Amino acid sequence: MEARTLTQWQARIDALFGAKDRRRGTAGNFMWFLEEVGELSAALRGETLAEQRLEFADVLAWLMSLANGAGVDLEAALLEKYGLGCPRCGAEPCTCAASDKP
């Protein structure tokens, strides 16, 4: 399989699941997203790397479904917010205090 951009993956998730996601609606999709985040949390606490990778993929796929429903291009959003460095201090790498967000 060839490499894809984030925008291409987002379109792929929409092609695979978009009709179901639209019927389910944002609230339903968000609940599935939260369930997958919980499964990722459990995997990070003791599962194998292979199992963790699958959970990361599920979380990302559900995030893409939510973004599709909201009309958000994730690649464009990432570029806008993080394309020039840390959105808070502007440095790359970030020089914010460890206690600061991000």
Give the count of alpha carbons within 13 A of 97, CB side only: 2
Mean pLDDT of all residues in the chain? Answer: 96
pLDDT, one tens digit per residue, over 6-41 is 999 999 999 999 999 999 999 999 999 999 999 999
What is the rounded CA–CA span in Å between residue 68 and residue 71? 5
pLDDT for the residue numbered 50:
97
Q: How far apart are CA 86 and CA 52, in angstroms?
A: 27
Q: Looking at the domain assignment, is residue 58 inside a domain?
A: yes
Domain that holds residue 67: 6-71
* Residue 50, domain CATH: 1.10.287.1080
Per the domain annotation, does 102 fall within a domain?
A: no
Q: What percent of the chain has pLDDT over 90?
A: 93
Q: Is residue 23 part of a domain?
A: yes
- Determine, yes or no, domain membership for 83: no
